[in-house]
Amino acid sequence: MRFLGSGIAALGVTALLSGCDHLLLLNPKGPIGAEERFVLIAAVVLMLIVVIPVAIMNIWFPWRYRASRSGAAYSPKWATSLKLEVVVWLVPALIVTALSILVWDTTHRLDPYKPIDTGVKPVRIEAVSLDWKWLFIYPDFNIAAVNKLVFPAKVPLSFRLTSASVMTSFFIPQLGSQIYAMGGMQTQLNLLADEPGTYAGQNQQYSGEGYAGMNFKAIATSREAFEDWIAQARQSPETLDLARYEQLEAPSENAPVMLFSGVQPGLFDTVLVKYGMSMQTQPAVMNSRSHDMESHGMQMKPNTSEKN
């Protein structure tokens, strides 16, 4: 029976390990993702210090003090136990302290705005969240792509992100550091891929009907393959000027990959300013409308006919 139990345990561990390739957070391909995996595992292990003993006691206590067993000592009338109080208070306090130190340290070390210093010039990428697709602009190469992010492995990536719609969340789980993209605001992100590969890119923030299809491929390549892709993008017959961007901005689901051989100068900043001004002027417009209606003896009421 002992050998049978060991065999079952070994098979269980093998099955869990074989599935790690599908657990993206546990299969990192970059230093940020690896650090975040360590934090996740360390937090789980620290919490198991409490969970495992409690689980064991949930089985052991009912078995030991079952009605059919009369030999077990049972002393329900006692006021306090110093040993028990020490365990109940000291162990959780130590766990919380350890978690606090761990989170404080990694939060500062893994600051998404902090550049990754490898001695190599980073690839700059400007990401714009649209309904329901991702636009990636490469300002140093004057090209852009929709729903396809290509970059060289072992080279830092420096992102600027914004949204031309509602708030979304940019996340490549195997590289780490989820961060929000918001209209009229700019966020930053620094990532690095340790090896070539194709990684899943996602929007983790619900953003409407096309949310489920708002995914992209993040492809880490060799330097030579990246240069070949840049050359391929520059052969595209399409360019991304303001008129083409406005067409691209229209909501569409499951948008195909698109390449643009040229980009309107300062397009990212134009989007940023456009939606920043929109957000700033909207309250002023609403206040003006409210004032006009109140001057005519009317009050503004919420539109309850729209769906949430």
Per 3-state DSSP, what percentage of the chain is helix, strand, and coil (rounded to 5)?
45, 20, 35
Q: State residue 85's pLDDT score.
A: 85
Question: Could you give the CA distance from residue 229 to residue 6 in angstroms, rounded to a whole number?
Answer: 51
| pLDDT confidence of residue 80 | 76
Distance of CA 58 to the CA centre of its chain: 36
State residue 298's pLDDT score.
Answer: 38
Q: Could you give all domains of the chain from N- to C-terminal order, each with its CATH number?
A: 23-63+82-110 (1.10.287), 123-271 (2.60.40.420)
Q: Is 209 exposed, middle or buried (0-12, 13-18, 19+ CB in 10 A)?
A: exposed
CB 154 within 8 Å of CB 193: yes
Q: Please tell me the predicted confidence (pLDDT) of residue 88.
A: 84
Distance in angstroms (rounded) separating the CA atoms of residues 60 and 234: 69
Q: Measure the CA–CA gap between 254 and 117, rounded to whole angstroms.
A: 36
β-strands 215-221, 148-152 pairing: parallel
10-residue averages of pLDDT along the chain (308 residues): 38 41 80 91 90 90 80 71 84 91 89 91 96 95 96 96 94 93 94 95 90 93 96 95 93 93 94 70 41 40 38
The Cα 187–Cα 171 span in angstroms is 13
The whole-number pLDDT of residue 277 equals 58
How is the beta sheet containing 157-163 ordered, strand by strand? 187-191, 157-163, 123-130, 133-138, 143-146, 258-260
Q: Strand 215-221 to strand 197-203: parallel, antiparallel, or no bridges (unpaired)?
A: antiparallel
What's the pLDDT at 22?
Answer: 59
Task: Compute how many other C-beta atoms are within 10 angstroms of the C-beta atom of residue 98.
Answer: 14
Q: What is the pLDDT, as a whole number, of residue 25? A: 81
3-class secondary-structure state, position 69: coil
The pLDDT of residue 41: 92
Residues 6+ apart with CB under 8 A from 149: 125, 134, 136, 201, 216, 217, 218, 219
With H, G, I as helix, E, B as strand and everything else as coil, classify residue 228: helix
